Amino acid sequence: MQKKRLVLCVTGASGAYYAKTFLEVALELDISLDCIFSENGKRVFAFETDQSFIEFKRSLEKIGVNFHEPSDLFSPLASGSVLSSYDGVVVLPCSVGTLGAVANGVVSNLIHRVCDVAIKEGVPLILGVREMPQNPIHLENMLKLQKMGVKAFVLSPGFYGKPKTLEDLYLFTVGKILDLLKIKHEIYKRWKKT
């Protein structure tokens, strides 16, 4: 069977561990990954994980993850003919700034472009938004995207699986995203009344 191919976009919203967990799980599932970290995504990632982004990136490149600079609009991912061969684009975590750009067709970096192209090419697009509380602009932007078939939602892990650790909460969120992409996994406990 052909490997699944995903693009993971990481923006400067809080929630670097969601992105880190997504990467770890995707690699375990043998998914081929292309990553784009926005400039503030790199900084927030380093701040929240106490890890150098450059070293993190290097370690992943060694095992075959492709990184693209957010300023590189010459990247192959900016092209519909390339992106249409992918199984999905995930923005995790997604800032309300990137949400606003995507919902309104404003393209000022490669993440925005990839999302814009995903919508036009019908590539599954998922935005895991992180902000609290939301203002009407955020809510309207999410609704606008949902109406186009984009899964744009506020990250909201469930507690019915009785999480014991923070990692359980990240895994729940990543698992739900993989479910939306119809990628099989067993990383969180599905609802079953015991």
Binding stretches for ligand FMN (CB under 6 A)? 11-14, 38, 40-41, 44, 47, 95-98, 130-131
- State in angstroms the smallest separation of the CB of 192 from ligand FMN: 32
CB nearer to ligand FMN: pick between 31 and 142: 142
- State in angstroms the smallest separation of the CB of 173 from ligand FMN: 14
Closest CA to 7 of 137, 146, 104, 111: 111
CB nearer to ligand FMN: pick between 87 and 131: 131
Q: Say if CB 181 and CB 6 are below 8 A apart.
A: yes
- State in angstroms the smallest separation of the CB of 128 from ligand FMN: 11
Q: Say if CB 35 and CB 60 are below 8 A apart.
A: yes
Buried b (16+ CB within 10 A) or exposed e, 155-172: bebeeebebeeeebbbbb
CB nearer to ligand FMN: pick between 4 and 141: 141
CB nearer to ligand FMN: pick between 4 and 11: 11
- State in angstroms the smallest separation of the CB of 113 from ligand FMN: 12
- Tell me the β-bridge partners of 6: 33, 88
